[in-house]
Structure 1
């Protein structure tokens, strides 16, 4: 647990209370209307106005700085996951089949705490601040993508986001500079063959056999088309075919995901998988239909924002607090903001006995001792916003 300069025990206790409220009342992506109403109620108590121009259930609020030469955006995601929570914590989810299994309840409470602190110390906030309480990080369509389209960043100079991270030790803050997280796109494939008798395959066009060639060929995109230093992953997650021992089905459906660490790699992998689907299926006399489902782009942490964040971390928490992180093939829709504006996405460590389970696990929980660090970090990043 790191020492904080601006966050006292009272603000920590208040934030934990808010976080537990959100944890007990989770809402799925695009359905966070009660969460949004609660956030608006708190912002009204702080005297911070909400901008009604943006789509609900997103909540966008503005804090006018004393100088207003720069505008800094801070973002928290609000959605929960379709999981049945396990365990016996006193603040366990009250909504069957829905839980905050990724820490978004903490992120929302932390950003509210930042707003509360700023409303109590307005003379210390020189920059204009945009508070982004975002819907739908966990599902498509992305809430970040929608807000960017609606112009949430039009007047913003720099944007920061944080993520409480269970695989980073408590008392550490870390990030990767440059490309830090992968894109995440999906695909659906339908192979239309000709069904027939399992003992007479010469009279059929076997889509299962064709599917095996397609699955193998897709891996050549990574090993033979992608630049060896540009990370990429293609994984098949589903295959639906026939249901009889001796009947060759007429159709096979495949589904999978494409992950890439650069914009160029993501575009190449989409193009090549579509080409392979059509050409391989045609070579066997079948029809191949490829549907690309756009997800999130790679997340690029701007070096200048990372340099500033590193200085803040070391100045406030000490040089030992920062832990460099390797890029991850996980995805995060904060990447849409970073495609448009300078900024960084930063991980706040919380790995401990309480938070030993990974994100998206039914027993996942936050070590609340990490919360003051996250509040302090967001405040300090916003005060100068370089």
Structure 2
């Protein structure tokens, strides 16, 4: 299916074996110590030194190129999800209630295979390569954010990452230039009113009634305050309050998420949410408390890195393989890297009969037929970026 230049069947088989190992022994965000130990062991076998100054369980290694004038960072995420796996795969999760339902097992195995190839073909790699095996992509606090704070991108010229995707056909690889994935900030809003008997609402400050006004008002943020060019979504996803038929409660808790394709859009939405919460609650003699759960910023693909990546994809696999896909409102903490340095995030398609379920589904699986292209792409970026 794919034209391969550096990758052979032996490396493909080795990578699939690693991927299945990771799939059988998944670990949640911040707990990937066994996965990290396995990665460290393999890197040691390859003779690639590990940079010990970074927070565990992330594993950061440095491959010294023959030239060394340029340094390229390649990133894979290692964490799994709190999902009970369904299906009868021979490599199903052996950890109760935890599974790789987002292809991070494939990302880790792919980067590990690229590292193996580099160790065996060092004379072909001019660039210095920083290998980032990152913890905690799925949950806050972000592993990427922590590594950036610790200086993982110091002296790095560009960074690239891939994600195997079940909504892009197998055989396609793509990305947009510019805004790609949305910011993601969650929130809880506590509305404190005054409860009482449902038959005497005039004696209460009804937080449910006030919540209904807030929910309606929040929709005006996107429709009437946000420049449509920026793109944003606000969703209320939870309401917690009383359970009696004849009692108006004291308190309502609203939960939701705010997402935007630009930092300006995200900041505007957050400001307006805070103001509407304060002013609407106050107008009804209630108190509103907004608790923001900071997530990831928007993910922005830089033109320079995209030009390099697209050129490599088309030269390696053929012009018909590249697809200029549309931005999406999913979030990804690779955004912290490209907020600091030039870089591109690339989606590798794997939609097929073997990968027909969406990410985060209990029956999700990675079509391993996509892995050869992922390894080849990582190696090409290391050699030619």
TM-score (norm 1): 0.99
1:215-250 CA-partner distances (Å, limit 9, x unpaired): 000000001110022210000111101010010000
User: Which residue number corresponds to residue 271 of structure 1?
Assistant: 271
2:31 aligned residue: 31
The separation in 2 between residues aligned to 1:265 and 1:366, in whole angstroms, is: 34
Q: Equivalent residues in 2 for 1:208-287 (5 A)?
A: 208-287=208-287
Quote the Cα distance in structure 2 between the aligned partners of 1:212 and 1:236.
Answer: 11
Q: Secondary structure at the match of 1:340?
A: coil
**Deviation, structure 1 residue 78:** 0.1
Instruction: Give the corresponding residue for 2:169.
Output: 169
1:381, distance to aligned residue in structure 2 (A)? 1.1
**2: CA distance between counterparts of 1:211 and 1:289?**
12
**Unaligned residue ranges in structure 2 (runs of 5+):** none
What's the TM-score once normalised by structure 2's chain length? 0.99
Q: What residue in structure 2 maps to residue 350 of structure 1?
A: 350
Give the secondary structure class of the aligned counterpart of 1:273.
helix
- Conservation of the 8 A alpha-carbon contact between 2:312 and 2:384: no
Task: Give the superposition deviation at 1:304.
Answer: 1.0
| TM-aligned CA deviation for residue 293 of structure 1 | 1.3
Matched, 1:340 2:340: yes
Question: How far off is 1:324 after superposition?
Answer: 1.1
In the TM superposition, what are the counterparts of 1:85-96 in structure 2 within 5 Å? 85-96=85-96
| 1:356-367 matched pairs, under 5 angstroms | 356-367=356-367
CA distance in 2, matches of 1:163, 1:228: 28
What CA distance in whole angstroms lies between the structure 2 residues aligned with 1:33 and 1:147? Answer: 16
Q: Give the RMSD, CA atoms, in angstroms.
A: 0.5
Q: How does 1:183-194 map to 2 (within 5 A)?
A: 183-194=183-194
| Aligned position for 1:3 | 3
Counterpart CA distance in 2 for 1:228 and 1:119 is: 48
CA offsets 1:27-71 (integer angstroms, 9 cap, x no match):
000000000000000000000011110000000000000000000
Task: Give, in whole Å, the separation in 1 of the partners of 2:321 and 2:102.
Answer: 23
Once the two structures are superposed, what CA deviation does each residue of 1:351-377 show, in whole Å capped at 9, x if it has no partner?
110001110000000110110100000
Tell me by how many angstroms 1:291 deviates.
Answer: 1.2
Query: Residue 4 of structure 1 aligns to a residue in which SS?
Result: coil
Shift of residue 3, structure 1, vs aligned partner? 2.1
What SS is found at the alignment partner of 1:310?
Answer: helix
CA distance in 2 between partners of 1:176 and 1:199 (Å): 57
Partner of 1:19: 19
Deviations 1:133-191 (A, max 9, x none): 00000000000000000000011000000000111111110101100000000111000
Deviation beyond 6 Å, 4+ runs, structure 1: none
Name the structure 2 match of 1:109. Answer: 109
Separation (CA, whole Å) in 2 of partners of 1:292 and 1:279: 17
Matches of 2:229 and 2:61, distance apart in 1: 41
Which residue in 2 is equivalent to 1:141?
141
State how far apart, in whole Å, the 1-side matches of 2:141 and 2:208 are: 32
Alpha-carbon offset, residue 384 of structure 1: 2.4
Aligned to 1:151: 151
Matches within 5 A, 1:49-64: 49-64=49-64
Aligned length: 385
